[in-house]
Every structure is written in structure tokens, then in C-alpha cells.
Amino acid sequence: MSKGYKNRSNNRFGQDKISEGEYAADSEQGEYIQKSRNKNPSNNHKAKLPATVAEQLAKLKERGCIVEDEEFAAETLTNINYFRLAHYFSLYLQEDGKYRKGTRFKDVLQVYDFDRRLRSLLMGTLEEIEIAFRAHCSNYHAIKYGATGYLSAECYSHVHNHKSFLSRIKRLIESNEDSEMVQHYIKKHGGLFPLWVIMELFSFGGLNMFYADLKPGDKMDISKKYYNTSSGDLEQKLRKMSDLRNHCAHYHRLYDWEMGDIHSSEGTVFEYILVMKELYRQPFKWRDGFLRQFRRLYFDYKDIVELSMLGFPENWLDILSEDKPEESREENREKNTAPSK
């Protein structure tokens, strides 16, 4: 798992008990360990041995997992790495290394599927937030400083390293030189790229860095105009969204997981979703899009998953439905009812 994320199941069972024999080591890792042992004979660590699907299945059953359909389970383990599924099975482990009574393979896989679909839903919404922020920054900056004003160091604050910034842009252009967009500006415009084109090459993290380096007044104008908040608050929220996107993009588990950003602040998945809602800025589209899809996702798995494991309070639907905190919640009486199909 990525550095900066903490498994809350550790608090319940002492530690995430995943035994040495549970994971299969790949050949490259084994070769590296062997070379390390040859260089340093005192290194007595043993490489983890690979296990067949049948052996993996036997291990699960030995620990108390109920496997009702062995053919289905074997097919699942063939197509989903045991190492990946182990992070979901670990949720059911007791301190004695056995699974809790009644743990079924198909139920653990349901949690895995819920997590996978939730990541996909979050990624779609994060994409909209990121694209909107790109437009807000490029439109504001280009209108104020010109299409290529971003190439001037005078457009940034004192913390900005312009030489490093220009080098990064050069690398981005070179790494995307085969794209139709880049080729067009090289051939038709002599390689002079307007800001709104360069913005499309930035990662979410690079985009956040661009905003963070702007002059204080410019950052304030953008944060107030488009997000009705302070520039400092916007920076913090964008960092969280970048962290959440990276977490999802690398297929990390969300269920029973506390998020932690690069500044070590922590929060539940629900708290990160609240930040998403604040940055989305389109209440009706939020309710008809993300919230409607999330409700359907939850009701598909409500017999298996507990939203409290994602930090959701009991009145989560009220909170995620409201336009403003001070508004009445009378219109949200449909809380915790199944959505129409």
C-alpha cells in the first residue's frame, strides 16, 4: 500500500495479520533477495515461495473461510491476484490468524466488488473536478497575462522556481510529442503552446503546483470566483483530491481505510467525499449524478457492506444532499430508502 495511508482494521485486531506464506513472490523479487543474500551472508531472510491457485484456496479454507463454490473461487483467484484479495480477507482475520466464524469467500468478493465500483465512481467525479479546475486556471491566467504569459516568471509568486517549471514543461512536450495536439502546435505554431494547451499536459498534482505558485491575489481571485473559499482552503482541498485520485488510480482499498495526505492530516473516505461535493459546485448535477449512482451502488451491496467502515454517519444522505448547511432538510425525507431503478 502507498505510504501515507493507514488501515483502520489494525485498531480492531492488533495488526493486519497476513502471514509470510500467504503471498507468492515473483521471480524478480526472489532473484533480488538471493543476490542480496550472496552479498551479505548475514541476511537470512527467505524469499516467499509461489503458491498454485489450489494451494491458495487450501490456505483460505485452512484459516476458516467458507468456500461454497470451489470452481468459482478458483476462477476468481486465477483472474485476481491473491495478494490483492488478501487485503480484503484481512478485514475478517482474528488475532489467532483465523477468519471470523461465518466468513464466506463470496461475501469477501462482494466487498471487493463494492470497493472496485466505488473507486470507479469516485474517479469519474474527480475527473470532472479536475477538468473544471484546469479551465478555471487557464481561462483566468490567459485572459489576465496572455496566451503565453505563463512563460514569464513575473506572473508567479516568490516561491516559484521558474527554471524548474520551464524544464518540466519541456519534458511534458517531449513525452507527448507523438500526440496530435502537440504535433499541431509544433507544425502550425512553431512550438509556441498557449496555456490552455499546456494545461492539458499537466497531471492533477502538476496542476495543483501551478495554482500554488501563482501570485496571492490571483489565487484569491480564482478561489473566490469559482469556489467561494480562500486560496489556502482551496489548496488544501485540491491536495486531498489529488491524494484520493492517486489512491483510486492505483486500485488501493477504500473500505475500512483512513486516508492521509502528504501533510499527515487524516480523514475518512466520507470526509474526502464531502470535499469532492464542495469542489463540485453543481448541486443538481451532484445529486442526479454522483449521489444517485452512489445510492444505487450502496443498495446493491447493503446486506454486505457497512457504510460506517467508510466513515459515513447515519444521516449521510441528508449531508450529501443538502445545498447549504443552513438550509432545511425537509426535502430530503427519502433518506435510506432504495432508489427507483
Summarize pLDDT for 299-326 with one digit per residue, the tens: 999 999 999 999 999 999 999 998 754 3
Residue 185: pLDDT over 70: yes
Mean pLDDT of 48-55: 86
Residues of the chain above pLDDT 70, percent: 79
Domain ranges of the chain: 7-103, 114-120+252-332, 125-246
List the strands of the sheet with 257-260, edge to edge. Answer: 6-7, 257-260, 266-267
Cβ contacts of 321-325, under 8 Å, gap ≥ 24: 321/287, 321/291, 323/283
- Give pLDDT, residue 266: 65
* pLDDT band of 258, cuts 50, 70, 90: confident
Cα 18 → chain centroid:
23
- Give pLDDT, residue 330: 38
- Give pLDDT, residue 182: 92
149: Cβ contacts below 8 Å, ≥ 6 apart: 141, 142, 155, 195
Average pLDDT, the chain: 83
Question: Helices 204-212 & 105-145, crossing angle to 10 degrees?
Answer: 40
Which is more confidently placed, 36 or 203?
203
- Give the integer Cα–Cα distance in Å for 293 and 183: 39
Residues of the chain above pLDDT 90, percent: 71
> Using one digit for the tens of pLDDT, what is the confidence trace for 66-115?
999 999 999 999 999 999 999 999 999 999 999 999 999 999 999 999 99
> Considering only CA atoms, which of 200, 196, 207 is closest in space to residue 235?
207
- Give pLDDT, residue 238: 94
- Give the integer Cα–Cα distance in Å for 128 and 210: 18
Phi, psi of 106 (to 5 degrees): -65, -30
* pLDDT band of 157, cuts 50, 70, 90: very high
- Give pLDDT, residue 49: 75
- Give pLDDT, residue 263: 40
Residue 333: pLDDT over 80: no
Mean pLDDT of 181-206: 92
CB 318 within 8 A of CB 274: no
Residue 163: pLDDT over 80: yes
Q: For the whole model, what pTM was predicted? A: 0.79
CB 110 within 8 A of CB 76: no
- Which alpha helices (DSSP H) does the chain contain, by range? 9-13, 27-39, 53-62, 70-79, 82-89, 105-145, 162-175, 180-189, 195-198, 204-212, 216-227, 231-249, 269-280, 283-286, 292-301, 316-321
- Give pLDDT, residue 22: 41
- Give the integer Cα–Cα distance in Å for 29 and 35: 10
- Give pLDDT, residue 190: 87
Which is more confidently placed, 341 or 126?
126
Q: Which of 5-14, 84-93, 195-204 has the lowest mean pLDDT?
A: 5-14
Mean pLDDT of 160-178: 94
> Considering only CA atoms, which of 259, 269, 252, 339 is closest in space to residue 308?
269
> Using one digit for the tens of pLDDT, what is the confidence trace for 267-296?
899 999 999 999 998 888 899 999 999 999
CB 108 within 8 A of CB 92: yes
- Give pLDDT, residue 132: 95
* pLDDT band of 39, cuts 50, 70, 90: low
- Give pLDDT, residue 45: 65
